[in-house]
């Protein structure tokens, strides 16, 4: 029997811990505040933003919502970010991505102060992750490390294969596994013999965005499989990059979709907000 890694339970444990920490900080006169900016009204983005607001409310983090019209200019958005950067009451700033096509996403990410970069996307945060300096880490990979640790899975010395090299998942995932003393291989669409490389993995992280791509032939007996992908099929059911039913019996532990990696992302965002408030208050 393989362990079904319960991301719902682990994320809920983290939220409870944060709720307690935020309550204590409030008693000491320290508040936590996240500013969430959404440009346009893409329905998927609205769902994500609402979930973030709900999580803030549950934990006791103040959330400020900035819902800007689709036609907002780059300059207007940069001016808002600048104002929030200078506002001592605001600890974290998040711009919901993607922004409309007329905007420059890179410039927007770089405009957020690294001290408030709770998404961990700023180049300074990314640099800090590779040099081991303090900085915010992208929430999904940070959540995966928590899933592994809180499930009692050791990373030290393990062969870790990350499939996908995006800036928000694959690359920071690889850096975090390296920081935990894993032996890390990063694969992507140009990787030769992908299957053979995956078969060597003690820990396989699948983050390519292709529904049920990884079947049992990609995993070795007893491996740990982390499925980052989220897809909705024709019957409106969610599935991941891994074919769970074919893989589950062969591995020692696996994350389901839904209920695995997904719930961890918001929990780690909340964690980063509390961390930002602690740092701003020299704690
Ligand atoms: P991207 O599309 O940005 O990156 C996909 C990566 O996979 C690229 O590096 C690409 O390689 C690689 N890739 C694509 N096809 C193959 C293939 N056949 N073989 C090997 N590598 C391949 O995706 P993201 O990293 O943003 O997201 C990945 C998945 O995770 C998506 O399903 C997304 O919805 C999900 N996701 C889930 C989150 C959560 O909270 N659970 C958060 C973020 C993402 P190359 O670089 O060569 O093009």
Ligand 1 within 6 A of CB of 169: yes
Ligand 1 pocket mutation pick from 7, 137, 166 by most atoms within 8 angstroms of CB: 166
Specify the pLDDT at position 248. Answer: 98
pLDDT in tens, 147-186: 999 999 999 999 999 999 999 999 999 999 999 999 999 9
Please report the DSSP string for 2-51 in residue order: -EE--HHHHHHHHHHHHHHHHHHHHHTT---EEEEEEES--HHHHHHHHH
Whether this model's pTM surpasses 0.95: yes
The mean pLDDT value of the chain amounts to 97
- Site to substitute for ligand 1 among 44, 186, 210, 228, most atoms within 8 A of C-beta: 228
Q: Measured from the CB, is residue 193 less than 6 Å from ligand 1?
A: no
Instruction: Name the 3-class secondary structure at 280.
Output: helix
* Percent of the chain residues past pLDDT 90, beyond the cut: 98
202 labelled catalytic:
no
Residue 146 known to be catalytic: no
Residue-range domain boundaries for the chain: 29-115, 139-261
pLDDT digits (tens, 9 = 90+) for 4-28: 999 999 999 999 999 999 999 999 9
pLDDT over 90 (residue 129): yes
Å from CA of 239 to ligand 1 middle: 14
The fold of the 29-115 domain, in CATH, is Rossmann fold (3.40.50)
Integer angstrom CA distances of residue 252 from 1, 103, 204, 246: 7, 45, 12, 13
Answer whether 206's CB lies under 8 Å from 163's CB.
Answer: yes
CATH architecture type of domain 139-261: 3-Layer(aba) Sandwich (3.40)
Rounded Cα–Cα distance for residues 180 and 146 (Å): 12
Q: Is 119 a catalytic residue?
A: yes
Q: For position 233, what pLDDT does the model report?
A: 87
Question: How many other β-carbons are positioned within 10 Å of the β-carbon of residue 115?
Answer: 18
Q: What is the mean pLDDT of residues 193-211?
A: 98
Cα 31–chain centre separation = 23
Question: Nearest-CA neighbor of 185 among 211, 208, 158?
Answer: 158
Evaluate whether 29-115 and 139-261 have a shared fold.
yes
């Amino acid at each position: 029997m393989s362990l079904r890694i319960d991301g719902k339970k682990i994320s809920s444990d983290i939220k409870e811990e944060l709720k307690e920490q935020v309550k204590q900080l409030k008693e000491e006169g320290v508040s936590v505040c996240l500013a969430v900016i959404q440009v346009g009204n893409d329905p998927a983005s609205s769902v994500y933003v609402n979930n973030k607001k709900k999580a803030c409310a549950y934990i006791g983090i103040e959330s400020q919502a900035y819902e800007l019209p689709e036609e907002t200019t780059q300059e207007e958005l940069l001016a808002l970010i600048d104002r929030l950067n200078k506002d001592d009451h605001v600890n974290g700033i998040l711009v919901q991505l993607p922004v409309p096509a007329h905007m420059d996403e890179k410039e927007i990410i770089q405009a957020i102060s690294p001290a408030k970069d709770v998404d961990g996307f700023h180049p300074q945060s990314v640099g800090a992750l590779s040099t081991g300096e303090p900085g915010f880490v992208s929430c999904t990979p940070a959540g995966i490390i928590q899933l592994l640790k809180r499930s009692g899975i050791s990373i030290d010395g393990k062969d870790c294969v990350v499939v996908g090299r995006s800036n928000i998942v694959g690359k920071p995932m690889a850096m975090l596994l390296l920081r935990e003393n894993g032996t890390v291989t990063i694969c992507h669409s140009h990787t030769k013999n992908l299957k053979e490389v995956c078969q060597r993995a003690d820990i396989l992280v699948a983050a390519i965005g292709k529904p049920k791509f990884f079947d049992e032939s990609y995993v070795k007996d007893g491996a740990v499989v982390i499925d980052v992908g989220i897809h909705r099929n024709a019957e409106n059911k969610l599935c991941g990059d891994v074919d769970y039913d074919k893989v589950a019996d062969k591995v020692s532990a696996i994350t389901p979709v839904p209920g695995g990696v997904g719930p961890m992302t918001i929990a780690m965002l909340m964690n980063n907000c509390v961390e930002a408030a602690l740092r701003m208050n020299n704690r």
